[in-house]
Amino acid sequence: MPLLQMLSITKNFPGLRALDQVDFSCEAGEIHCLVGENGAGKSTLMKIITGVYQPDGGEIWLRGEKVKIRGPVEARRLGIGIVFQEMSLVPSLSVMENIFVGIYPKAKMKLLDWQEMRKKTESILHEMGLSVDPRCLVQDLPLAERQIIEISKILAQGARLIILDEPTAALSHREVEKLFEIIKKLKSQGKAVIFISHRLKEILEIADLITVLKDGKKVGTLSKDEATEEKLIQMMVGRQFSDLFPPRYSGGCPEEVVLKVENLSVGNSVHDVSFSVEKNKILGIGGLEGQGQSDLLRALFGIEKIKNGKVILEGKEIFVRSPEEAKRNGIAMVPEDRQREGVFLLRSVRENLTIATLEQRQTLSIINIKEENKELQEIVKELNIKVVNSDQEVSSLSGGNLQKVIIGRWLIAKPKVFILLEPTRGVDVATKSQIYFLLRRLANEGVAIIMYSSDMMELIGLCDQVLIMYEGRVVALLEGEQINEESIMSAAVGRER
Amino acid sequence: MLKKRFYPFLLFLLVILLLAAELLSPGFVRPRHLGVVLRQAAFLGFVGVGQTLVILSGGIDLSVGSLVTAGNIFTCELLGRNPDLSPPLVLIPLLVMGVLIGMINGLGITMLHIPPLIMTFAMGSIVDGMTLIYCGGSAAGYATPPIQYLGSKLLFGVIPVNFLLWMVLLGGSTFLLNRTTFGRKLFAVGTNEIAAYVSGVNVKKVKIYTYGLSGLCAIFAGMILAGYTQTGFLGIGNEYTLSSIAATVIGGTAITGGRGGEIGTAIGALILIIIQSILTVLRIPESGRKIVEGLVILLLINAYFERGKK
Amino acid sequence: MREYRWFDVPVNRKILVAYLVLAGLYAISALISPSFRTFVNFKHLLLQTTPLIIVGVAQSLVMLSGGVDLSVGAIMSLANVVAVQSWKGMGNIGFIYLFLIPLGLGALAGGINGLLIGKRNLPPIIVTLATSSIFWGFALLLMPTPGGSMPPSLALILAGGSLVPTIIFCSLVFLVTFFLQFTEAGRGIYVVGSGEEVARLLGINIIRVKVYTYALAGLITSLAGIFMAARMFSGDPMVGQPYVLDSMAVAVIGGTSVNGGEGGVLGVIGAAFIFNLLNNILNMLGVSTFYQFVAKGIIVIAAVAITQGSSLIKDQNKTLS
């Protein structure tokens, strides 16, 4: 009898069917990996198991009994534990306290027994192979160790089904090995582990079963023996995506260099990166998540501090220390986290679109409304933004339209360099295509486009050059025909070509 | 947007209050008496204009009360000692001082990362000290006729001059918010500071100017107030701190920033002053006034949060 | 922030800084002025600092939960005014009422704060600003002008010597620290203060935590009000006014972060003494009291700026806006 059985799970969101009658089951003592592209439905499925979302259709059975998981607290009580990428640890508290929050060992009169807590934590950590002082503060620990502490916490709370969401995204090889040891130990203890990841090679190493999701549907489940990288990729992608993307650059010869980056280092995440962006070409930055791509691009825009290196725009060296300066130099950036860094939620569409280019339409600081209206009309038409009128609240817009607003905001600025971080995250397929065609058109007009995407297919379909980063360094520069899944993947996991 | 739905409600409230006032004290709505009420409200209105800007930017200014007192005392002392000098010569440096103090608030908040609550509260203390040091602990001096005109005169016995000043400030600040680049940036900063930064807005500059404007409004209020009180009074500004915040919040501006406007604050100020008048008429002592003011704030933000919930 | 472990119990190392600074200041003062070295002066300083320590503890609690309490001055004044009146005509056991009623009132007032902030999710600044007005109104209602009195013997015990006040604030700090470090409820305050989203994920009842935090703060604040009644030997509805800003400064200097989730009350004693000592030094140097307002403001700004500075260095992951 399987530990977990999810039958015919369906989940709808406005304008999007995230999950379509998905079956998923997992046994005790089994390591089951869940794969699929971004947006395939993996995290939605997990959020349903952990009670964050409620399914619109289907049933969940746990240990042979039908259950309704109404919330995260209930999920925990049922023995389901999840480690998200955004951790649920309290940074300013110690390791032992984080593990035992809510289940503190107590001495007489309900007083906390710190000594007991430390001892128990020590044994748990020892089992995990982690030699960290339980009294250490979580904020002083590196990501890999925090992850193990999160796992410890879940175990301490009695989890028998452990879900890991992209745990290896920001880990080094050694750390991944350590994590795998822990996972194998959990398996031997009869726990069930669900492991979500993009890294096919790792999955093939650790999984007993692999389930592939695509566009909200289950494509199939392969066992350890059946699965190969090709089969998985085929199951994950296998669609005609050629119509989604516009034709790539066909010039052939190297063009004039618009932006050149030399030996750039940023904090601890980017080391000695050099590359150039040629006119009319779209440069994509790829690789596994968290390898420094974001920080690199944000540094070009002035949000992160450049430690070393040069940035040369149109032949002149520039120093960009803030987005304001970047703007002045003709650099624009669409940020990764739309909600946090991009959208002014309770303001109007007009304000959201014009915020970056207010200087263009003013005299003595007074806004020229006529000009603004004209500009708004043009951009809404150009990007096909579904808006009734530009003074409506931007919160009424769908994800795709919101993204268009943010792109539009910078389009008005007529940048020389256009940086986009995950430009189609949370965007429906039709809008994705629109954005791709837009970017190609901009490139043809001479704008240098640099794009970071964790969506491999996007890089392959759209970009003329792809830079792969691994542990903060450039490990491969692929061009034209070289841009394919195999070469991207192998570079991404650090194999030298 | 929230703002648009509110004004009818507020005006409704205002009308109810006026009716109640008339009932409790017949003759309240006589033009002459209304003029007196407006004259009193104008001072709060001045401070409210600046406070609203600060709260819209996501902050708060607890130094306004001290600046009002400073404006009041410095004006009286300076004019009292130099009655022959033309007032602008004396008062313009004072206004500049108000702006500078406000900008220091802004600097502390943006550069030293001190929370606005603490920075402005501490600054208020510093200003109080400066005022005490300057006047040696006893308020003296007097406001010369030009200032008295601005602070007390009722045109045709009905329209307060300071009310006209208030309307000018109101118009100017509304224009600033709605039709200038600074206003857009202010709303952006108050709504989502990070997104504003990523959109190329100089968040620090916007905040510093905003606090500067608040300082200007507060000290200006104190100056004109001198025309009303005619001599300096220590501590006269104290009540304006809470009241300006109350007027702003009652007027529909979200305490977290990014939403609201000056007109709401102006109506809020009127509502507060009328409530105060009613309480005075009912002979309710200061204690009652404080309780009522606090309750009004609580009731209204409670209601607002209900509506604003998504 | 490094934590110093004492039998595995978390203790904030920043607290030690406060005491070092204090020792230094004390030494300087003693050198400057001979009159400082007298015991009378020490007693005076102690009595002056006791209420500040008490409200500092209350404010620290609230700050730990991620909020702020601007009504401490009002609650203190209310308790003060109630204290000097509650024992009248109650005979010998009157002094029980003198304690119980103000303390109960303080807890109630704090509880109201906590409910409004926790349950209705209203911002602490505006809520406590409003309740401050309300509570102060009640204080003025009960006693428009200073007056009232206290049983002389009781007043003498509480505020006549230096032993009892010391016992009071030391045991308060000890008890609150004990609560914060050894009870689940106390640790809950830290978790909520560190981040409400995480706290909710961890299944903590945020409303409950906020209510008892503010209620406890109110209770403690009213203790300061009672003490002041004993010290002044009468009641004054404005007694709490200077303590609002001061309590925040003392909480911060004592090691509690304004953002919540970090700190404690052990440093409050040192911080409060530093505060008053600096003022006393100014007095001794013949500086007029007016300058103390300026000095107070500058000290607060400096203290917060310094503590903010050190915690920002740790924030390597946040966008530098």
Q: What is the pLDDT of residue C9?
A: 62
Residue C20 pLDDT greater than 80, yes or no:
no
Across chain B, mean pLDDT equals: 89
DSSP class of residue A305 equals P
The predicted model gives B46-55 an average pLDDT of: 97
Interface check for A322 against chain B (CB to CB < 8 A): the answer is yes
Mean pLDDT, chain A, rounded, equals 86
When pLDDT is averaged across residues A214-232 and rounded to a whole number, the result is 84
Put simply, the answer to whether A112 touches C183 (Cβ < 8 Å) is yes
User: Residue B310: is its pLDDT beyond 50?
Assistant: no
Residue C13 confidence class, pLDDT cut points 50, 70, 90? low
Contacts of A50 in chain C (CB under 8 A): none
Q: Where are the alpha helices (DSSP H) in B82-191?
A: 87-110, 116-135, 145-152, 161-179, 181-191
Asked if A262 and A310 touch (Cβ cutoff 8 Å), the reply is: yes
Inform me whether the pLDDT recorded for A333 exceeds 80.
yes
Å from B291 to nearest chain C CA?
A: 4
Query: Which tens digits make up the pLDDT trace of A15-46?
Result: 677 888 899 989 899 999 998 776 678 878 88
- Residues in C lying within 8 Å of A, measured between beta carbons: 1-3, 5, 7-10, 181-184, 187, 190-191, 194-195, 198, 201-204, 261-262, 314, 316, 319-320
Chain B interface includes A358 (CB < 8 A): yes
Q: What pLDDT does C16 receive?
A: 67
Pair type for strands A80-83 and A161-165: parallel
Sign of torsion, CA B36 B41 B44 B47?
A: negative
Rg (CA), chain C: 19
> What is chain C's mean pLDDT, rounded?
83
- Whose structure tokens read 């995290």? A43
- In this structure, of A193-197, B107-111, B152-156, B196-200, the range with the lowest mean pLDDT score is B152-156
CA distance B147 to B133: 24
CB contact under 8 A, A92 and C182: no
CA C179 – CA B1 distance, rounded (Å): 46
- Cβ-defined contact of C305 to B113 (cutoff 8 Å): yes
Cβ C294–B289 below 8 Å, yes or no? Answer: no
More confident residue, C13 or C178: C178
Nearest to C8 among A89, A101, A135 (CB): A135
What confidence score (pLDDT) does residue B2 get?
Answer: 46
Task: Write out the CATH class of domain A4-237.
Answer: alpha beta
Give the per-residue pLDDT at C7: 58
Fold agreement between A4-237 and A257-492? yes
**Best to test chain A binding among C202, C262, C311, C319 (most A CBs inside 10 Å):** C202
The answer to whether A118 contacts chain C (CB < 8 Å) is yes
A241 touching C, CB under 8 A? no
Q: Cβ of A354 and B188 within 8 Å?
A: no
Nearest residue, CB atoms, C3 vs list A73, A102, A135: A135
**Range with top average pLDDT, C116-120, C132-136, C155-159:** C132-136
Q: Which amino acid is at A484?
A: N
Minimal CA separation from B280 to chain C, in Å? 15
pLDDT score at A217: 87
Mean pLDDT calculated for residue range A311-317 = 92
Pick from B305, B238, B253, B272: which is nearest to B55 by CA?
Answer: B253
Nearest CA in chain A to C203: A73
The per-residue pLDDT for A373 is 92
Residues sharing a CB contact under 8 Å with residue C11, sequence separation 6 or more, in sequence order: C3, C4, C5, C181, C264, C266
Torsion angle defined by CA atoms of residues A351, A354, A356 and A357, in that order, rounded to the nearest 10 degrees:
-150
Cβ of C190 and A92 within 8 Å? yes
Which pLDDT value is given to residue C54? 96
What are φ and ψ of residue B178, in 5° steps? -95, -25
The band of C109, judged by pLDDT with boundaries at 50, 70 and 90, is very high
Tokens found for residue C8: 């595995």
For the domain covering A257-492, report its CATH number.
3.40.50.300
Token pair for B222: 């104190």
- What is the β-pairing status of strands A57-62 and A65-67? antiparallel
- Write phi, then psi, for A490 (nearest 5 degrees): -70, -35
pLDDT in tens, A259-275: 999 999 998 889 999 99
| Structure-model confidence comparison of residues A236 and B159, the more confident one | B159
Question: Residue A278's beta-bridge partner residues?
Answer: A257
A324 and B CB contact within 8 Å: yes
What are the structure tokens assigned to A172, written together?
């080094």
**Which of B217, B255, B231 lies closest to B65, judged by CA?**
B217
C127: amino acid identity, one letter:
V
Minimum mean pLDDT among A259-273, B228-242, C32-46, C243-257: which range?
A: C32-46
Nearest to residue B59, comparing CAs of B222, B253, B267?
Answer: B253
Domain range annotation of chain C? 54-240
Contact A344/B258, CB-based, under 8 Å? yes
What are the chain B neighbours of C249 within 8 Å (beta carbons)?
118, 122
- Report the largest interatomic distance among the alpha carbons of chain C, rounded to a whole angstrom: 64
Q: Complex ipTM above 0.85? A: yes
What are the residue ranges spanned by the domains of chain A?
A: 4-237, 257-492
pLDDT score recorded for residue C319: 36
A50 within 8 A of A82, measured Cβ to Cβ: yes
pTM of the predicted model as reported, rounded to 2 decimal places: 0.85
Pairwise CA distance, residues C192 & C64, whole Å: 8
**What's residue C5's pLDDT?**
56
Closest Cα of chain C to A368: distance in Å? Answer: 29
Amino acid occupying residue A451: M
Q: Mapping DSSP to helix (H, G, I), strand (E, B) and coil, where does residue B156 land?
A: coil
CA-based nearest residue to B294, from C209, C75, C65: C75
**Which pLDDT score, from 0 to 100, does residue A133 have?**
86
Minimum Cα–Cα distance from A326: chain B residue: B200
- Do the chains contact at A354 and B199, CB–CB below 8 Å? no
Is C295 in a helix, a strand, or coil?
Answer: helix
CA atoms within 13 A on the CB side of A323: 30
The predicted pLDDT at position B4 comes to 57
CA B50, CA B61: separation in Å to the nearest integer? Answer: 9
The 3-class secondary structure across C93-140, one letter per residue, is HHHHHHHHHHHHHHHHHHHHHHHHHHCCCCCHHHHHHHHHHHHHHHHH
Alpha-carbon distance C281 to nearest alpha carbon in chain A (angstroms): 36
What is the DSSP secondary structure assignment for residue A79, as one 8-state letter?
Answer: T
| Backbone region of residue C258 per phi and psi (left: phi > 0; alpha: psi in -120 to 50; beta: other values) | alpha
Question: Dihedrals φ, ψ of C158, to 5°?
Answer: -70, -50
Average pLDDT over residues B268-283: 90
Neighbours of chain A (3+ CB pairs under 8 A): B, C
Predicted confidence at residue B5, as pLDDT, reads 65
pLDDT exceeds 80 at position C72: yes
